[in-house]
Amino acid sequence: MTPADLVLTPTHLRLLGRRFPCTLGRGGLKADKREGDGGTPRGVHRITGCLYRPDRVAPPAPWALAIRPGDLWSDASGDDRYNQLVRAPYPLSHEALRRADPLYDVVLLTDWNWPVAEPGAGSAIFLHRWRRAGAPTEGCIALRPDHLRWVAAHAPPGTRLIVR
């Protein structure tokens, strides 16, 4: 491990000597992640990109890409585009990235089950804004908004995310 690694524990995320309180999936940490189990997968993952809502926030990093109207994330296990960014209209199961609430105003993408997704192994694990301190996610890692922006600015694509 290096200080430039994102290191996740059950109570916080560490990066560059700073610690940030966070929340994890309702299913806890999982060694064998499956679609819908609410778990946060253990292992060493990588940050692959950053998305943001340009109508709500400034880009958190130079490499961040804007979430456009109609941007979706496929969670249709077994489809060729499972665990990929897709565009509306998309007839299969998906999650809207442009949400009414602020959870996805800034999103760090990870390489969990990506770029070649194994059906049923679980779709995206994002780092995103928390609903409130202690409120679990569906498997993602959630942070306070100002902490998320700091992490996004300091964790470029390729940064390791170590989930113990």
Q: Structural domains in the chain? A: 6-163 (2.40.440)
**Cα–Cα distance between 134 and 32 in angstroms, integer?**
23
Q: What pLDDT score does 78 carry?
A: 86
Provide the pLDDT for residue 9. 85
pLDDT tens digits in sequence order for the chain, 164 residues long: 899 999 998 789 999 999 999 999 999 999 999 999 999 999 999 999 999 999 999 999 999 999 999 999 999 998 999 999 999 999 999 999 999 999 999 999 999 999 999 998 998 999 999 999 999 999 999 999 999 999 999 999 999 999 98
pTM for the whole thing?
Answer: 0.95
Rg of the Cα trace of the chain?
Answer: 15
Burial class (CB in 10 A: 0-12, 13-18, 19+), 112: buried
Which residue type occupies 135?
A
